[in-house]
Structure 1
Amino acid sequence: MARESSESSTPGRLKQIVQTYKMTRRVDSKVGLVLAAVGIVTFGVVLAIGFLIGHPIYAGILGFLLAFLAMAVVFGRRAERAAFGQLEGQPGAAAAVLENVGRGWSVTPAVAMNKSQDLVHRAVGKAGIVLVAEGNPNRVKSLLAAEKRKMARVVLDVPVTDIIVGTGEGEVPLKKVRTTLLKLPRVLPGPKVTEVNDRLRALGDLMKNMPVPKGPMPKGMRMPKGR
């Protein structure tokens, strides 16, 4: 059964690699030439060394393996760069990155937003609470402040880190969001992370279930202005 499962997953992996290559090629038209050059140069260098030391056959085998490994590394990097290039500037791009941060993080996309599609996403892990904002830097600051005030109702003793996605001063490029999160110091034990998540979920339910006044609007009352 294990062998059948492995064989059935192989076509899926190959299909995924092909799809990734096609996606990368749409953004990076030279990826095929670059991979071919990396493979040929790596194989050629190792084979030449093999002739010099008198073991061309062994060097050829080793060169083939090293060439395949080098091509895989280069392809992975260029595919990642192409993927970020396609996400850059799209609403919700930071949420897509956060969803792939890895185990140990609980991500809630779009905990705050405004009419201009500026967004704040929340990630909770052993580093505490991380609020990741994307959009206009001036507008997202007010969103971040409002979200902190809301969270202060239920969590007071947990560190909160702000990240504004962008290329300006003090901002974090989209491709470095994951690395930035993983570099944060771990300050909370596992049980505390669970407790914080439960409190924040309860806060979300509380805000969602708040009673809305019914009936006609009182005279003289003004509608609140959007952010």
Structure 2
Amino acid sequence: MARKETSENPGRLKQIALTYQMTRRVDSKVGLVVAAVGIVTFGVLLAIGFLIEHPVYLGILGFLLAFLAMAIIFGRRAERAAFGQMEGQPGAAAAVLENIGRGWSVTPAVAMNRSQDVIHRAVGKAGIVLVAEGNPNRVKGLLAAEKKKMARVVVDVPVHDVVVGDGEGQVPLKRVRTTLMKLPKVLPGSQVTAVNDRLRALGDLMSNMPVPKGPMPKGMRMPRGGRMR
């Protein structure tokens, strides 16, 4: 058991170090900001401890709260840096959906055209969510075609559209997860499974053509042998 814990700790520390390096490339002040938050938090609690003549207790509390505050600030800035690097890249929404959490079944790239406009599908208690990224005018056709295809096997299930982008009526990449989580839950778990099984039976682009998870490299062209819409 001790060996297992020892082997996992270096992995976590390495992951934190890699996350910090990635964040620092985008946010050069992340180290200073996180350190300042920790020092200020600890200093304030320690000062209060001296004022009420309990420096030891408040010092310990200050240390714990400082560590928590540093972790929260670092997490937020790391998340912001990650979204900043993904924005504008084809397939970025798929990477966000893959980490949406339990209760959702995600199928990346259920529809795509030669211009790399793509639609991903998420199925959960809120129903079916089609997440489109690409040219807003072109994805309308993809969304309509996908809905028509799904209508053959799915009835009376809510279908939501999410078009990723910063324009009017669109959802920024960093808010995609929040948008899905806020949708009203109307389906029981058993129906979610049934709906997902029916949709999978239709097949999708992933079953005919390998599409890498996460953001796809810019300039990538679709092979002619793939099934296109």
TM-score, normalising length: structure 1: 0.88
CA distance in 1, matches of 2:39, 2:193: 51
C-alpha separation between the residues in 2 aligned to 1:36 and 1:157?
53
1:51 matches 2:50? yes
Equivalent residues in 2 for 1:117-156 (5 A)? Answer: 117-156=116-155
Instruction: Report how far residue 7 of structure 1 moved.
Output: 2.2
1:5 aligns to what? Answer: 4
Could you give the per-residue CA deviations for residues 110-145 of structure 1, whole angstroms, max 9, x where no partner exists?
Answer: 111111111100001111100000011111111101
How much does 1:169 deviate?
1.1
Kindly, what percent of the aligned residue pairs are identical? 82
Name the structure 2 match of 1:79: 78
Residue type of the partner of 1:40? Answer: I
1:216 corresponds to = none
Give yes or no for the alignment of 1:185 onto 2:189: no
Q: Secondary structure at the match of 1:154?
A: coil
Q: Which residue matches 2:217?
A: none
TM-score (norm 2): 0.87
Across the aligned residues of Structure 1 and Structure 2, the Cα RMSD in angstroms comes to 1.5
Higher Cα Rg, which structure: 1
1:34-90 per-residue CA deviation (whole Å, 9 max, x = no partner) reads 011111111111111111111122222221111111101100000010011111000
1:25 Cα deviation from its structure 2 partner: 0.3
Rounded Cα–Cα distance in structure 2 between residues aligned with 1:72 and 1:104: 26
Is 1:90 paired with 2:86? Answer: no
Superposition deviation, residue 32 in structure 1: 0.5
1:214 — aligned with what? none
| Amino acid of the structure 2 residue aligned with 1:85 | G
Quick one: higher RCO (CA 8 Å, sep 6+), 1 or 2? 2
Q: Which residue of 2 aligns with 1:218?
A: none
Deviation at 1:162, TM superposition (A): 0.2
The whole-number CA distance in structure 2 between the counterparts of 1:203 and 1:15 is 41
1:217 maps to none
Residue by residue, what CA displacement relative to the aligned partner does 1:208-227 show, whole Å, maximum 9, x if unpaired? 79xxxxxxxxxxxxxxxx87
Q: Secondary structure at the match of 1:61?
A: helix
Q: Give the AA of the match of 2:104.
A: W
Question: Which residue of structure 2 lines up, in the alignment, with residue 162 of structure 1?
Answer: 161
CA distance in 2, matches of 1:185, 1:6: 40
